[in-house]
Amino acid sequence: MRAFLTLVLRDLRQHATDKSVVLFAVVIPMALSFVFMMAFSGVGDLELEPETVALSAPEGDRAGQAVGDVLEGMAQGGDVPITVRRVPAEEVAGLVDSGEVGVGVVVPEGFEDALAAGEGAQVEVSQGADAGITGHVVVGIVGSTLARLDTDAATIAGGADAGLGEQELGALVERVRSAPTDVPTQVSGVSGEQLSLGAGIVAGQAGMFLFFTVGFAVLTLLTEREWGTLPRLRTMPLPRWMVPLSKGVVGIVLGVISTTVLLVSGQLLFEGVDFGNWAVVLVLVVATVTAATSVMALILRVARTSEQASLAMSVIAISLGVGGGTFFRVPTEGWVGQLLSVNPVAALGRGLGITSGGGGLVDLAPVLLVLAGFTVVVLLLARILPGRKDAL
């Protein structure tokens, strides 16, 4: 144990005085965070411009009136700055084309009957060239409302097809009608596992440059082998596994320190960045750093020289950084989202999204399991893949 600590402390002293390590671990990612913050300043605080919506819905058509009720309720609630202007159907297109209104919505005659019959009822929505983000929000809310109406109609039709009696069917219709029709209209900020723009920039830079930090520590095995230091260490009465294990521990220590410094600095220096409970964040950071360190074991397995290892490390770090959302948002749903979710950089961002939302260790468990699985799989690959054995 004493020999192991000696190896670890020796490497830590060397890396603490290495300017390259300090640059890649703290200075460059922090500088890039400043640059991205300046470049995207204001993007996360979008302000919606007032807009007018021209609406035409036939009298007595309850489904059509529901569309108008949602838009007027949204205008009265003040969530989205719109004014709803009810006009005849034939005037809507002209108002949109002239730019007098930003969005036009035309509910056709017989919309309710077509919806109930499942005959592909359609609503005509037109958006002016200058409608802006408010127009996109209105179009999205109209689409959500129509989807809700279609679901309600399908529910009632399903009840009729199932042979419900007149009384039971009437009760079902009343329940559907009385269900809340509010459509979420919050358009700023993020929730769930998504970080704010500023926090995402800090987390992305910390996650990507983490690979460089642990790489400096672990890949020195190849440098020491080329310089002849490694063979001399192995002439000492030490277990063969002790030297690579000490490099891994040094990588984890450096990675945890650099990542924690970057996250703490980001929270202190940038407005709107808050990662939540730091005890929980530290657990996430340790798991992420361990996963990143396992990648270095794989590189050690296949690289023949320190130059090859450095190149592989750079390619992997940038690839995982891009795939993990360091420079732009990446999909979180579908098979692409599932595939990207095993990326340690993406997992770090997702985990920080949970902690920033007030989540604890229990909420973080799925992310920690992903990182643990990634680490085990990569270490197994490093074990079974053919390659150089003298570095490990």
Q: Which two tokens stand for residue 378?
A: 């990569």
Q: Which two tokens stand for residue 106?
A: 């035309």
195 with 353: CB under 8 angstroms?
yes
**Over the stretch 203-243, which tens digit does the pLDDT of each residue have?**
888 888 888 888 887 777 777 777 777 777 767 777 777 77
Strand order in the sheet with 82-86: 82-86, 51-56, 103-106, 124-127
- Maximal C-alpha separation, the chain: 93
Three-state secondary-structure class, residue 274: coil
Cα(101)–Cα(7) distance, integer angstroms: 72
**Over the stretch 124-152, which tens digit does the pLDDT of each residue have?**
888 877 777 777 778 888 877 777 777 76
Whether pLDDT at 188 is above 60:
no
What DSSP designation does 342 have?
A: T
pLDDT reported for residue 191? 42
Instruction: Provide the mean pLDDT of the chain.
Output: 78
123-128, long-range: CB < 8 A, 24+ apart: 123/67, 124/92, 126/92, 126/93, 126/96, 127/96, 127/102, 127/103, 128/96, 128/97, 128/99, 128/101, 128/102, 128/103, 128/104
55 with 138: CB under 8 angstroms?
no
273 sits in the region (left: phi over 0; alpha: psi -120 to 50; else beta) called beta
Cα(57)–Cα(62) distance, integer angstroms: 9
Torsion of CA 69, 70, 71, 74, to 10 degrees: 120
Q: Band of the pLDDT at 7, cuts 50, 70, 90?
A: confident
Across the strands, what pairs with 51? 82
pLDDT reported for residue 93? 85
Cα(338)–Cα(323) distance, integer angstroms: 12
